[in-house]
Amino acid sequence: MLDHCAHARYVWNLAVEQHAHWYKGRKAAPGFAEQCRQLTEARRANAWLAAGNADVQQQALRDFSRAKNAKFTSGFGEPTWRRKYVHEGFRVIGTDRVPEFEADGSPKRNTHSGKQVMARLVVVHKLNRRWAQVKVPGCGWVKFRLTRRELPKAKTFRVTYRNGRWHIAFAIIPGSIDAPGTGEVIGIDRGVKITAALSDGRKLNCPQLTVKERAQIRKHQRRAARAPKASAAKTAAYARVARLKARETDRRKDWCEKTSTMLARTYDLVRFEKLNIKNMTASAKGTVEQPGRNVRQKAGLNRAILAQGWGLLRRRTEHKAPGRVEDIPAPYTSLRCSACGWIEKNSRKSQAEFVCVSCGFTCNADENAAHNVAAGQGGIPRPRRSAGAGGVTAATSRSSAREPQPVRVGILLV
Ligand SMILES: [Zn+2]
């Protein structure tokens, strides 16, 4: 299977290179069919490539063409290089020929020949409640742990390898979750202290590594740093670090999956405040000429933000409840009073406390922001009303800026 990974990575990178260095003035870069023809030629010339499985290599090209076509919609952009140990994996196409049917139950026919379309499904055997097996070309039957009750009906599957763990993923797009039909709207405020504060008062936290686990990571990092170059001890220590960090990612993904399913099942409309996570986590490093300030602190905050899985939660909720997720512009959602609509910086007493300076409404700051998100409020500050007159006046800060400044009186020293 590691050989399959190496072959798939090699073929993918060849495709990336071919498209990266393509002279744009001439005709278009070769597509999937042309690349497959070139692959056959390459297999004839290269004994190492010829020893591998042709289907696995061809599927790498298929993956590449899919990624290339979806570069504007996938969110991943242009397909890039796959690195050893980092992006290890390969796709296997099913072998079981099964007739395909239309949605109304009639046999699906080829538009040109009129023959019934046959799909190639993956053969999966269930061994018991927890284990199943699947055929991988060149490896025979490979056992894997089931994470769902029913067996998958997929046309392809993908095997990936990272941090010493093998994973198998069947290519199925699950149906969306039905709305409960209660008309309930929930607002979600995402933060670093509380991962997701809901407008119904619940506070959900994404599990992090424990203090003990973090200490273990530091211990193994220290050992790796002290071990001699290219020694087995160094590799082993780095592997321990990678496994511990993978545990954190696993927990975060698990939490995001469970939480997004809960949101899609319980509420008709889910509102998130619109965050630009990419801008928020931009480095403060700056340039050599103009180094940034508080770089370490910003790096720590960035890590904390990325450890919350904000983007993943939003994305997965959208997948499960398409059309039922909205983005609310984020500015002022944390400064606006959810009771009277007054926007004032001084209302937010601390990280956790919100006391409205206008009406005295007291609330947890995150919950208050979640209420604003649920109401779809925030965005542009409303015209401020001066407390006594009741009329609409210009913002006080702007009017004070136009006032004549007091003249500085100098003392003349003789
Ligand atoms: Zn208020």
Percentage of the chain beyond pLDDT 70 is 90
357 part of a folded domain: yes
How many A from CA of 307 to the centre of ligand 1? 33
Range in 30-34, 188-192, 242-246, 298-302 with the lowest mean pLDDT: 298-302
Range in 97-101, 189-193, 229-233, 302-306 with the lowest mean pLDDT: 302-306
How many A from CA of 177 to the centre of ligand 1? 37
How many A from CA of 45 to the centre of ligand 1? 75
**For residue 43, is pLDDT > 90?**
yes
Give 274: exposed, middle or buried? Use CB within 10 Å, 0-12, 13-18, 19+.
middle
Q: With contact defined as beta carbons under 8 Å apart, do 206 and 248 qualify? A: no
Percentage of the chain beyond pLDDT 90 is 36
Range in 97-106, 137-146, 169-178, 392-401 with the lowest mean pLDDT: 392-401
Can you give the pLDDT at residue 329? 81
Q: With contact defined as beta carbons under 8 Å apart, do 50 and 80 qualify? A: no
10 part of a folded domain: yes
Strand, helix or coil for residue 6:
helix
How many A from CA of 39 to the centre of ligand 1? 68
How many A from CA of 88 to the centre of ligand 1? 54
Range in 92-101, 128-137, 155-164, 264-273 with the lowest mean pLDDT: 92-101
Whether residue 86 sits in one domain with residue 66: yes
How many A from CA of 355 to the centre of ligand 1? 8
Q: Which of 59, 74, 90 is the last residue of a domain?
A: 90
Mean pLDDT of 372-383: 67
Can you give the pLDDT at residue 105? 79
How many A from CA of 336 to the centre of ligand 1? 8
Whether residue 141 sits in one domain with residue 242: no
State pTM to two decimals: 0.75
368 CA to centre of own chain: 27
Can you give the pLDDT at residue 301? 77
Whether residue 319 sits in one domain with residue 268: yes
Can you give the pLDDT at residue 385? 52
How does 96-112 read in b/e, with b if 16+ C-beta sit within 10 Å?
Answer: eeeeeeeeeeeeeeeee
Whether residue 116 sits in one domain with residue 190: no
Report how far apart, in Å, the C-alpha atoms of 190 and of each of 98, 165, 312 are.
46, 31, 12
**For residue 401, is pLDDT > 50?**
no
How many A from CA of 70 to the centre of ligand 1? 47
What sign does the dihedral 128-129-130-131 (CA atoms) show? positive
Q: With contact defined as beta carbons under 8 Å apart, do 61 and 35 qualify? A: yes
Q: With contact defined as beta carbons under 8 Å apart, do 283 and 299 qualify? A: yes
Mean pLDDT of 9-20: 92
How many A from CA of 91 to the centre of ligand 1? 57
Can you give the pLDDT at residue 400? 36
Mean pLDDT of 168-194: 87
Q: Edge-to-edge strand order for the sheet containing 165-170?
A: 88-93, 156-162, 165-170
Mean pLDDT of 179-204: 86
- The CA distance from 414 to 408, in Å, is 19
Structure tokens at 90: 């390969």
Whether residue 6 sits in one domain with residue 50: yes
- Domain with 206, as residue range(s), is 185-327
278 CA to centre of own chain: 11
Which residues share a beta bridge with 270? 186, 325
How many A from CA of 399 to the centre of ligand 1? 23
**For residue 318, is pLDDT > 60?**
yes
- The CA distance from 371 to 18, in Å, is 52
How many A from CA of 343 to the centre of ligand 1? 8
Can you give the pLDDT at residue 255? 92
Whether residue 65 sits in one domain with residue 148: no
Mean pLDDT of 98-118: 81
179 part of a folded domain: no
163 part of a folded domain: no
Q: With contact defined as beta carbons under 8 Å apart, do 317 and 190 qualify? A: no
Structure tokens at 188: 């979600």
Whether residue 234 sits in one domain with residue 191: yes
Q: Which of 110, 139, 158 is the last residue of a domain?
A: 158
Mean pLDDT of 115-138: 89
Whether residue 66 sits in one domain with residue 31: yes
283 part of a folded domain: yes
Q: H/E element holding 291?
A: none
Instruction: For residue 389, name the pLDDT band (cuts at 50, 70, 90).
Output: very low
How many A from CA of 339 to the centre of ligand 1? 5
409 part of a folded domain: no
Whether residue 273 sits in one domain with residue 202: yes
How many A from CA of 409 to the centre of ligand 1? 42
164 part of a folded domain: no
Strand, helix or coil for residue 171:
coil
Whether residue 320 sits in one domain with residue 273: yes
Give 190: exposed, middle or buried? Use CB within 10 Å, 0-12, 13-18, 19+.
buried
* Nearest by Cα to 272 from 351, 182, 184, 185: 185
* Nearest by Cα to 373 from 319, 340, 336: 336
How many A from CA of 389 to the centre of ligand 1? 17
Mean pLDDT of 264-288: 80
Whether residue 123 sits in one domain with residue 11: no
Mean pLDDT of 76-87: 90
How many A from CA of 390 to the centre of ligand 1? 15
How many A from CA of 270 to the centre of ligand 1? 24
How many A from CA of 272 to the centre of ligand 1? 22
Can you give the pLDDT at residue 24? 65
How many A from CA of 354 to the centre of ligand 1? 10
Whether residue 321 sits in one domain with residue 203: yes
Can you give the pLDDT at residue 151? 85
Can you give the pLDDT at residue 405? 43
8 part of a folded domain: yes
Q: Which of 327, 342, 362 is the last residue of a domain?
A: 327
Provide the number of structural domains found in the chain: 4
More confident residue, 227 or 293: 227
Q: What is the mean pLDDT of the chain?
A: 83
